[in-house]
Amino acid sequence: MSRLIIVSNRVAPISEGGPAAGGLAVGVYDALKETGGMWFGWSGDVLASGQPQIQLEERGPVTFATIGLVRRDYDQYYRGFSNATLWPAFHYRADLIQYDRHDFEGYRRVNAWLAQQLVPLLRDDDVIWVHDYHLIPFAQALRAAGVKNRIGFFLHIPFPASQVLLAVPPHRQLVEALCSFDLLGFQTEPDLRAFCDYVVHEAAGECEHPAKNGSSTIRAFGRTLRAAAYPIGVYPDEIAQLAKAGARGKPVRTMKATLHGRKLIMSVDRLDYSKGLVERFRAFERLLDQVPAMRNNVSFVQIAPPTRADMHAYQDIRLQLEGESGRINGRFAELDWTPIRYIHRQYERQVLAALFRESHVGYVTPLRDGMNLVAKEYVSAQDPDDPGVLVLSRFAGAAQELEGALIVNPIDIDGMAEALATALAMPVAERRARYRDMIGRLRENNVSVWRDNFLRDLKRSGEARPAARAK
């Protein structure tokens, strides 16, 4: 069996029981334990001086290979091109794109340097799986170093429409770099279609879709590769167990006591402008405005730990949200009721799952999101006899699968307020039917299925290449 090499910007911290974070980390770590292999990436350290050294840590059949970044590389590769250029562009926020060509050079330089660090650790039959937008040039860099292994790439965030991607000055280099992989994975069919649209209309390439299921064949920049949608999933039964156990724990019991029987709306996100938090707060305000019976009868808990706090766009969204929550609470709060509880911290997975289970509405309304695992975790955590209702943005990748949710457009504040009212009043029979539909989908397409489908196609992609070229 070939070894699996996972390359991602950050390597998930692993404790004795496995990764602390959910979804991706758990799914990938399981595969690594099965086949043996390595997880390679940035350690998260930023070095003030000196030359970063690779650290190897063995845990059974899995090696963790991590390396620090010097300050300039962190600023150009991570803060600069990855998070100030690509992140807003790929989330359709052309207004927030910042571009500096030195940062793009730094992005390419760091990708090449990371690839050079990995090369001596590789064996001929290793299968390499690269993750996310920080590492778009990684295959190109490995190929330049003579690596012939199969290399796949999975994009966790949306792939933007061509007209938005064109706003990123080196758009062509980026797509050319993507074509150095053997297999490209996207979260949804619309993301795959957006990529193909660029290939065909901007790069004079070809995109051939299969008659039935299966991956598309892409021909562009002198290469032939495969691409398909692989929606990432969760382990729903494990989350349900966590939720049940967590509901008995002190933090959740204490929180429940403070509700005094009021209904609960729950949201959990990283504090990011792509998550639609301002619009979400305003729609909750509209609900209180238009349905007076809701006042003092419903509480909204928003958990949003700050991320990328050293970037202006993130400082701005934080200030804006603090203003909005203060304004709305000032307007509606009573001596014994605070409408919005806005909390800036991380919680254990078990506590989050239990809060999801205790709530009546899961309120997940990003302006754009590759998938959004919180939506899937919310559904997984529900009590099948008395499930809550998911209110979900049509712009989350998860909306492609979770048709049992109340699907909303996060720009439409009135529409979201109406959806909240509908969710809070929904009869149990309808809630159960919607839950059954969604949980069935989540079980069928859990995170193992995501990973196994991608790796199966990556292993096949090498075989497909010569035939595709001969055409």
Residue nearer to ligand ADQ on the CB measure, 107 or 159: 159
Residue nearer to ligand ADQ on the CB measure, 64 or 235: 235
Q: How far is the CB of 155 from ligand ADQ (least distance, A)?
A: 9
E strands, 16-61, in order: 18-19, 37-47, 55-59
Q: Locate tokens 């350290």: which residue?
A: 45
Q: How far is the CB of 86 from ligand ADQ (least distance, A)?
A: 12
Residue nearer to ligand ADQ on the CB measure, 228 or 352: 352
Q: Which residue type sits at 356? A: F
C-alpha to C-alpha distance for 168 and 162, rounded to whole angstroms: 10
Q: Locate tokens 């706090």: which residue?
A: 309
CA 269 to chain centre: 11
Q: How far is the CB of 197 from ligand ADQ (least distance, A)?
A: 21
Residue nearer to ligand ADQ on the CB measure, 78 or 332: 78
C-alpha to C-alpha distance for 205 and 221, rounded to whole angstroms: 7
Q: How far is the CB of 165 from ligand ADQ (least distance, A)?
A: 17
Residue nearer to ligand ADQ on the CB measure, 10 or 432: 10
All residues at 6 or more sequence positions from 188 whose CB lies less than 8 Å from its CB, including other chains: 158, 229, 231, 371, 397, 400
The tokens of 422 are what?
């509908």
- Catalytic residue, chosen from 91, 131, 156, 360, is 156
Residues 7, 151: contact at Cβ < 8 Å? no
- Catalytic residue, chosen from 132, 191, 269, 369, is 369
C-alpha to C-alpha distance for 122 and 408, rounded to whole angstroms: 46
Residue nearer to ligand ADQ on the CB measure, 272 or 324: 272
| Residue among 357, 390, 391, 378 nearest 255 (CA) | 357
Residues 203, 134: contact at Cβ < 8 Å? no
The vertex-14 CA angle with 9 and 16, nearest 5°, equals 170
Contacts with ligand ADQ, residue ranges (CB under 6 A)? 22-24, 156-157, 232, 268, 270, 303, 305, 346-347, 352, 369-374, 377
Task: Note if 414 is an active site residue.
Answer: no
Residues 1, 35: contact at Cβ < 8 Å? yes
Q: How far is the CB of 229 from ligand ADQ (least distance, A)?
A: 13
Task: Note if 134 is an active site residue.
Answer: no
- Separation in Å, CA 127 to CA 145, 151, 278, 280, 454: 16, 6, 42, 42, 12
3 state DSSP class of 147: coil
Residue nearer to ligand ADQ on the CB measure, 247 or 352: 352
Q: How far is the CB of 274 from ligand ADQ (least distance, A)?
A: 7
Cα dihedral 58→232→265→289 (10° resolution): 130
- Separation in Å, CA 230 to CA 142, 159, 191, 373: 24, 13, 11, 14
Cite the DSSP H helix spans in 334-427: 349-358, 373-380, 413-425
Q: How far is the CB of 287 from ligand ADQ (least distance, A)?
A: 23
Which positions are catalytic?
Answer: 156, 369
